[in-house]
Amino acid sequence: MSNKKSETLQRVLEIASLLFVEHPFAEVSVITIARLAHCSTTTLYDVFGSKEQLFAAAVRQRLAECLPQLDTLHERQGLDALLEFTRARIEALSRPTTRAILGAISKQAEILQPVLARQMTEAQRETDETAYRCIRGALAEGSLRPLPEETLRYSIFAVSAYGPGLLSLYGTQYPVSMPDAIRMTFEPIVSESGKVILERYLRAQAADKRG
């Protein structure tokens, strides 16, 4: 694929993802996407096959952008790594783009199935694997209470999603406080030594924010 064609298709996906997030599927026209992307509808149908497949491709791209950014995770270990993983997950869930794309997916679920189901399952599997790896490290370190791994994962995922969930329902009226979210998630499940690590992590995060 030539660079020019690749750039055009990338532009198509970016435009399509914005339109599909902002408007119901039925109201988005392939003609409009082609016009804004400066290409022909024939090109779009040749590449994507149908409006439904274009929608799925656009949603997949936007969904990938909503995953937690874990670039710094390899530098950490034990509870520190698990705290960083959870912070990145809360940030990802709190982004307006994430809320918008998840809303679009829920409204158009019948169109996306089964096209998107496999990718979403894979993304969730990778997230779970990362969470379990961090949990095992924290358990080995002794910084978490000796609970089953699945119980710990469920607790961390459920509680840390509470703030972003409120944000999705009520918007900026209930902004997410990262320190409060981290503390609420981990205080019930950390050991005595874990409390020290938790407080140190929160102080470091506060210092980074001030800096």
Tell me, what CATH number does 124's domain have? 1.10.357
For residues 166 and 186, membership in a common domain is answered with yes
Q: Which residues contact 188 (CB under 8 A, 6 or more apart)?
A: 155
Residue predicted with more confidence, 91 or 151:
151
For residues 138 and 192, membership in a common domain is answered with yes
Structure tokens belonging to residue 181: 């979210």
**Which of 25, 45, 63 marks a domain boundary?**
63
* pLDDT one-digit tens code per residue, 91-105: 877 776 666 666 666
For residues 165 and 199, membership in a common domain is answered with yes
Work out the number of other CB atoms within 10 angstroms of the CB of residue 103: 12
Whether 52 has a pLDDT exceeding 80, the answer reads yes
The CA angle 115-169-29, to the nearest 5 degrees, is 40
For residues 27 and 96, membership in a common domain is answered with no
Q: How many distinct structural domains can be found in the chain? A: 2
Whether 175 has a pLDDT exceeding 60, the answer reads no
pLDDT at 75: 78
**Which of 12, 29, 63 marks a domain boundary?**
63
For residues 44 and 77, membership in a common domain is answered with no
Structural domain boundaries enclosing 21: 3-63
**Average pLDDT of span 63-68:** 64
Structure tokens belonging to residue 65: 């952008």
Give the predicted TM-score (pTM) of the model: 0.68
Work out the number of other CB atoms within 10 angstroms of the CB of residue 170: 10
